[in-house]
Amino acid sequence: MDFAQALQDSTIAQWIGQSGSLFGYPLFLFLHTLGLATIAGLSAGITFRILGIAPTLRLAPMVRLYPVMWIAFAMTVVSGLALLMADATTKLAQPVFYVKLLFVGLGVVTMQLMRNRVFADPQVDERPFTSTARTLAVMSLLFWMGATIAGRLIAYLV
Amino acid sequence: MPTLSHVHLLLNHVPTVGTAIAIALLIVSFVRQSDELKRVALEAFFVIALLTIPAYTSGLAAQIQIQDLPGVSTVLIEAHEDAALWSFIFMQLTGGFAWYALWKRRRTGGQARTSMVAIVLLSALTMAMTARTANLGGEIRHPEIAAAAGEAVLAQEVAESEAQLDTDPPFLSANQIGLFLTDRVWVWPAFESLHFIGMWLIFGIVLIANLRLLGWMKTWSFPDVHRLLPWAALGFAVNTITGMVFLTASPGMYADNPSFLWKIGFLMIAGLSLLYTTAFEGPWWVGSGQNAPVRVKAVAATAILSWIGVMYFGRMLPFIGNAF
């Protein structure tokens, strides 16, 4: 774990973790949470729509949520890296940390697959959703739940 | 800087007086057969349930501040707390049904009869419970007796009040909730996970609905988006339950925590904005392709920002305050 140690000993990681400033660890933690709430929450909205909630609501305009979700994703990655640096030796040694990364990866891939397979169809609102669309919708919800639970457990399964 | 104890003094009559007023409004609405009054009564139930959140949580802070004072009985405080817990649960159920009835009436223009029956029954029970809670709360401190008659009489008065209490262990008490969480290692992280999932459920739906009002996805008419709102309400319910469990199990982390005060403050604004989005005319009449009026946009922006405020101060509980 020499790499983790070096990361954690770097000046910036020391500042994030040890400065006690509200602009250090606490700010990154908040940005990480806000990013999660945005990407998982908006994905949940898309999922509900595909699963038949709000049947009169056209799905196609929801494509406008994608830039917001990507910005939120970038924010969680940057803030997540900052949080990781501050505590690298612990987190990189926790199996549940990698479980979380796996869920996040699956969540993001599912999100993009939905864009390619569901939103790309110009007729999407003219016919019933395909079973692929519904499967992706359910997966998306489950993956974000998994990421959230694994993320919470990082603080407990030390 | 006001503390949560001040908040308790400010709000502790809201559940009793408020419920009485809302029930009176509901009765008048039946007598006059006024749909408009019925809506006002339902809105009142929702707002009172919302205000009961700080009324209840601030009581935990008041308890920590006064429990070691002379002449203050912990037995009486705990009786008040357990009564308050029940009042809180029934108040939130009433508020939840009121929200649902408002949502349904907005959509269908109908009466939401089942919900109305539930609200009538629940509000009557809530009234009885809050009255009992208020009564027990009033027993806790008697400065006027202490001033007039001295310590001995005060001690006797406290003993008499304690003797009148029902000594059977309550079916559900704050202590039991505390033990449930602290005795099992998995419960706290499980509830936290639920609290986080509830959080993104609320935020995602609130964001979609209010971004529409701000002019995104403009081909949607608002009534179509309105159909998604119960999912935000579900998140709200999950987080009220899990949040209350954290608080009841570990009141010391929140009692004097300025971050918690801010979180609850933003939650009140967020809750009111949800009521506006659900029940008011302004957003409802925003049709496909139309721009929302400025006041509706202002509320939409407030809704999003206040939920961000709730999340910020929730996250800051250990940093600005002293949680964990």
Query: What are the pLDDT tens digits along chain B (324 aa)?
Result: 567 778 888 888 899 999 999 999 999 999 999 999 999 999 999 999 999 999 998 888 888 878 777 777 788 888 888 889 999 999 999 999 999 999 999 998 877 888 889 999 999 999 999 998 888 888 787 565 555 656 666 667 667 767 766 656 666 777 788 888 777 888 899 999 999 999 999 999 999 999 999 999 999 999 999 999 999 999 999 999 999 989 888 888 888 788 999 999 999 999 999 999 999 999 999 999 999 999 999 999 999 999 999 999 999 998 887 666
Q: Where along chain A do its domains lie? A: 2-154
Q: Are B299 and B277 in contact (CB under 8 A)?
A: yes
Residues of chain B contacting residue A40, judged by C-beta atoms under 8 Å apart = 197, 200, 204
Contacts of B67 (CB under 8 A, 6+ apart): B74, B77
Residues 6 or more apart whose Cβ sits within 8 Å of residue A130: A118
Q: A129 is written with which tokens?
A: 């959703």
**Is B197 in Cβ contact with A148 (below 8 Å)?**
yes
CB A47 within 8 A of CB A137: yes
Whole-angstrom distance, CA of residue B58 vs CA of residue B56:
6
Which residue in B103, B186, B239, B319 has the most chain A C-beta atoms within 10 A of its own C-beta, making it the best mutation to test that interface? B319
pLDDT of residue B323: 67
Most confident segment among A39-48, A149-158, B155-164, B255-264: A39-48
Beta-sheet strands, E only, within chain B: none
Residue in the block written with tokens 């700080």 = B54
- For residue B60, give both structure tokens: 């935990």
Tokens read off for B8: 């308790």
State how far the Cα of B60 lies from the Cα of B249, in Å rounded to an integer: 11
Question: At A48, phi and psi to the nearest 5?
Answer: -60, -45
pTM reported for the whole predicted model:
0.91
Q: Would you state the pLDDT for residue B137?
A: 85
Q: In whole angstroms, what is the distance from residue B52 CA to residue B12 CA?
A: 8
Q: What's the rounded Cα separation, in Å, for the pair A85 and B130?
A: 50
B195-to-A149, B189, B190, B236, B243 alpha-carbon distances in Å:
10, 10, 9, 9, 7
pLDDT tens per residue across span A122-147: 889 998 999 999 999 999 999 999 99
CA B258, CA B267: separation in Å to the nearest integer?
A: 14
Q: B52, B88 in Cβ contact below 8 A?
A: yes
Alpha helices, DSSP H only, in chain A?
Answer: 2-9, 11-18, 25-50, 65-86, 88-91, 95-114, 131-154
What pLDDT does B54 receive?
A: 92
Q: Is B150 exposed, middle or buried (0-12, 13-18, 19+ CB in 10 A)?
A: exposed
B204 CA to centre of own chain:
21
Q: What is the pLDDT of residue A143?
A: 98
CA angle A27, A31, A36 (to 5 degrees): 150
Find which of B103, B184, B194, B196 to mutate to test the A interface (most A CBs within 10 Å of its CB). B196
CA distance B15 to B127: 8
Res B252: pLDDT: 81
Nearest Cα neighbor of B41 from B241, B233, B295, B279 is B279
| Element of type H or E holding B160 | helix B151-164
DSSP state of A123: T
Dihedral angle sign, alpha carbons of residues A37, A38, A44, A48: positive
Question: How confident is the prediction for chain A on average, in pLDDT?
Answer: 93
- What pLDDT does residue B31 have? 95
- What residues in A contact B316, CB-CB < 8 Å? 22, 26, 30
Q: Which of A37, A41, A64 sits opposite B216 (nearest CB)?
A: A64
The contact set of A with B (CB < 8 A) is 22, 25-26, 29-30, 33-34, 36-38, 40-45, 48-49, 53-54, 56-58, 61-62, 64-65, 68, 144-145, 148-149, 151-153, 155-156
Whether residues A152 and B228 touch (CB distance < 8 A) is answered with no
- Residue pointed to by tokens 């179509």: B224
- Ranking A56-70, A94-108, B54-68, B204-218 by mean pLDDT, the lowest is B54-68
The answer to whether B137 touches B129, Cβ cutoff 8 Å, is no
Are the beta carbons of B204 and A45 separated by less than 8 Å?
yes
Instruction: Report, in this order, helix, strand and coil percent for chain B, each rounded to 5.
Output: 80, 0, 20
- Is 0.90 exceeded by the ipTM? yes
CB contact (8 A) between residue A38 and residue B204 = yes
From the list A44, A54, A62, the residue facing B217 with the nearest CB is A62
Query: What pLDDT does B127 receive?
Result: 93
